[in-house]
Amino acid sequence: MPVDRVIDAAVELVDEVGPAEFSMRLLAKRLRSSTATLYRHFAGKDEILVHVVDHVLGEVPRHLPDMADTSTWQERLVASAEALFRTLKEHPKVVSLFDNHVPLGPRGLAGREAAIGILLSSGFPPEVAASAYTAVAHYVIGFASQLRADGTTGPEENQDIREFYRSLDPARYPATVTSAPFLPNSLDDEFRFGLQLIVDGLAKQLTGPAGRTHHR
């Protein structure tokens, strides 16, 4: 019972049925084995799910374009964040497993290293680079956690929400009703917009932090 075979099957199973329905029994059945055998290789369900997270993070590089040395740090940081976002979109049911623990497996560390490396080599001081990475990472996770776990990422989903907001009482929710028709069609557009806000904010840190110090 090779460890990798278990992890591969576990990722498949979470992708199919979600973390709530994922069970040691289902995993054992898929492997044509028994639950007790799984416990010979892993401490328990939680440990297997940590491996699932790290396995998924291993797919991030596949979504990275190869960037010429001429790319700006903005382009490279955005590409990193989008690669993670695209990866999570392919495994929407895995996203909730990112809750409550910083991914410290080898794949999670590689992503952190790459992003902070981009910032350091672009002239950001280390304290800014570290906090900027955290901000971007949490933004991506927060956004990805709103991916419909049932796979309906399509535009009809956003249209339903827009219709709901439009149908509210304008006297009670004036701003919500006013802005509802302008909601973007796709989650991707909303994702890129917010990501650009963060990058723009970072650019300001680099060019003119005059009068603005890091961390109060």
CA distances from 200 to 47, 84, 196 (A): 38, 20, 6
Other Cβ atoms less than 10 A from the Cβ of 147: the count is 20
Among its own copies, DNA, none, what binds residue 68 when CB lies within 5 to 8 Å by partner kind?
none
The binder of its own copies chosen from 21, 23, 104, 123 (CB under 8 A): 104
Q: How many residues bind its own copies (CB under 8 A)?
A: 70
Is the Cβ of residue 34 or residue 167 nearer to its own copies in the bound state? 167
First-to-last alpha carbon distance for the chain, in angstroms, is: 53
Among DNA, its own copies, none, what binds residue 85 when CB lies within 5 to 8 Å by partner kind?
none
d(CA 169, CA 22): 41
Is the Cβ of residue 14 or residue 137 nearer to DNA in the bound state? 14
Q: Does 214 bind its own copies (CB under 8 A)?
A: yes
Q: Does 174 bind DNA (CB under 7 A)?
A: no
Q: Is residue 73 within 8 Å of residue 118, measured between CB atoms?
A: yes
The binder of its own copies chosen from 112, 153, 166, 206 (CB under 8 A): 112
What residues from 126 to 165 belong to the interface with its own copies (CB under 8 A)? 126-127, 129-143, 145-149, 161, 164
Q: Residue 199: phi, psi to the nearest 5?
A: -65, -40
Q: Does 123 bind its own copies (CB under 8 A)?
A: no
Chain centroid to Cα 5, Å, comes to 25
SS3 69: coil
Greatest extent of the chain over all pairs of C-alpha atoms, in Å: 64
Among its own copies, DNA, none, what binds residue 84 when CB lies within 5 to 8 Å by partner kind?
none
Tokens representing 144 are 């990805």
Q: Which residues contact 97 (CB under 8 A, 6 or more apart)?
A: 14, 19, 49, 52, 53
CA distances from 69 to 66, 121, 133 (A): 10, 12, 21
Q: Does 49 bind its own copies (CB under 8 A)?
A: no
Is the Cβ of residue 24 or residue 109 nearer to DNA in the bound state? 24
Among its own copies, DNA, none, what binds residue 5 when CB lies within 5 to 8 Å by partner kind?
none
For binding to its own copies (CB under 8 A), which residues are involved?
A: 95-96, 98-102, 104, 109, 112-113, 116-117, 119-120, 125-127, 129-143, 145-149, 161, 164, 168, 172-176, 178-184, 189-190, 192-194, 196-202, 204-205, 214-216
